Amino acid sequence: MTEEHATNWTTTTFRVRYAETDQMGVVYHANYFVWFEIGRTDFCRQQGFAYKEMEQQDGLYIMVAEARCRFKAPARYDDEIVVRTRLSACRKRVLVFDYEVCRGEDDEILANGQTVHVITDRDGRPRALPEKYRELFLGEGTQHRGRGEST
């Protein structure tokens, strides 16, 4: 199984909702982790499958083992947000995703981050990633490449 294999970046675009901002008018920090999940779910769709299929058909889950985010600039209400997501490592039982959160109008990187996931069964026991999903995760993504900022 491939140890380190960075895929192409996929993109997800949406607008900041008022409920995502704090009293200072900036996006509350925890929402970036929600945005990472949105990017990760869309990454799977853009690779040709729904994460829900892994759960329902194969009883496999992508459990978050580690998450980090580095904030660089604030996002504000109604900003267009672009979340770029890629798979940076695919191991037997571990997946690592990288993220870039950018403002759509000027492409400024607002935050970057990474999540580490363990493949588990319904009971939370680690399992090997089946070959069919490995191939899907490592398949061709969109043509857009991120800036390659380190996390």
91-135 pLDDT, tens digit per residue, is 999 999 999 999 999 999 999 999 999 999 999 999 999 999 998
Name the catalytic one among 22, 58, 78, 107: 22
Look at residue 3 and tell me whether its pLDDT is greater than 80: no
Please give the pLDDT value at position 150: 37
9-54 pLDDT, tens digit per residue, is 999 999 999 999 999 999 999 999 999 999 999 999 999 899 999 9
Residue indicated by tokens 């399992």: 127
Question: pLDDT-based confidence at 6, cuts 50/70/90?
Answer: confident
Going along the chain from its start, the domains and CATH numbers come out as 10-137 (3.10.129.10)
Sign of the torsion formed by the C-alpha atoms of 92, 99, 145 and 47: positive
Give catalytic status of residue 22 as yes or no: yes
